[in-house]
Chains A and B, each alone.
Chain A
Amino acid sequence: GQQLNQSPQSMFIQEGEDVSMNCTSSSIFNTWLWYKQDPGEGPVLLIALYKAGELTSNGRLTAQFGITRKDSFLNISASIPSDVGIYFCAGFNSGNTPLVFGKGTRLSVIA
């Protein structure tokens, strides 16, 4: 089945630093999604992208839908301790097909 390659697998950063992570696929998606999972919780949607080349922001988070439709990027600016968690990318096409999730990037923020 389809797979998403997410990198890096984990990151340790200092509070205040910017963070970048990305997700690539061997096949095209019509929608890219970024979720965050806080420790002990279920994932929650952060940002959704619908169009190739689209750049969307949600507070300190910015995500981009790659022009090839096979990749997406998430940036977090000026990280804070509550940014700790696992960030998942997900690709979606349409209809009944389930979302395809990446394996996640585990972010740790050192105060």
Chain B
Amino acid sequence: NAGVTQTPKFRILKIGQSMTLQCTQDMNHNYMYWYRQDPGMGLKLIYYSVGAGITDKGEVPNGYNVSRSTTEDFPLRLELAAPSQTSVYFCAARLAGTYEQYFGPGTRLTVT
């Protein structure tokens, strides 16, 4: 049981490039979340999903897009990377009716 997996672990992007951060969970959890964590800071919610086909904006959605075509996958898309998007990105999953949120290991992204 792998839990929440994220790929890649590290990535360097040039300004204006695009990329997709992958997140997969094998726990059949309904809810999935994307957070960013800037150096020395807390977690900021980017987008979340309560189930396949449903997504909602979090606190800092600008510059990002998500989709949830299956229960397992919740990719995060950056269309035009900017230096302000340099951060560590965490994906998380939670089962409906429970409170425990399981986090992936993170993707460290640098935009230069």
Chain A residues at the B interface, C-beta cutoff of 8 Å: 1, 6, 31, 33, 40-45, 48, 88, 90, 92, 96, 98-99, 101-104, 106
Contact = CB atoms under 8 A, between A and B. Distances in A.
A31 B94 CA distance: 15
- Which DSSP category, helix, strand, loop or mixed, fits chain B's interface? strand
For chain B, which range describes its interface: under 10, 10 to 19, 20 to 34, or 35 or more residues?
Answer: 20 to 34
A43 B105 CA distance: 9
Contacts of A41: 105-106
Given A42-B104, A96-B31, A96-B50, A103 B42 contact: yes
A104 B39 CA distance: 12
Query: Which 4 A-B residue pairs are closest in the complex by CB-CB distance?
Result: A42-B103, A103-B42, A101-B43, A96-B50
Nearest to A86: B42
6 contacts: A42-B92, A42-B104, A42-B106, A45-B101, A98-B45, A99-B99
Contacts of A103: 41-42
Interface in B69-103: 90, 92, 94, 99-101, 103
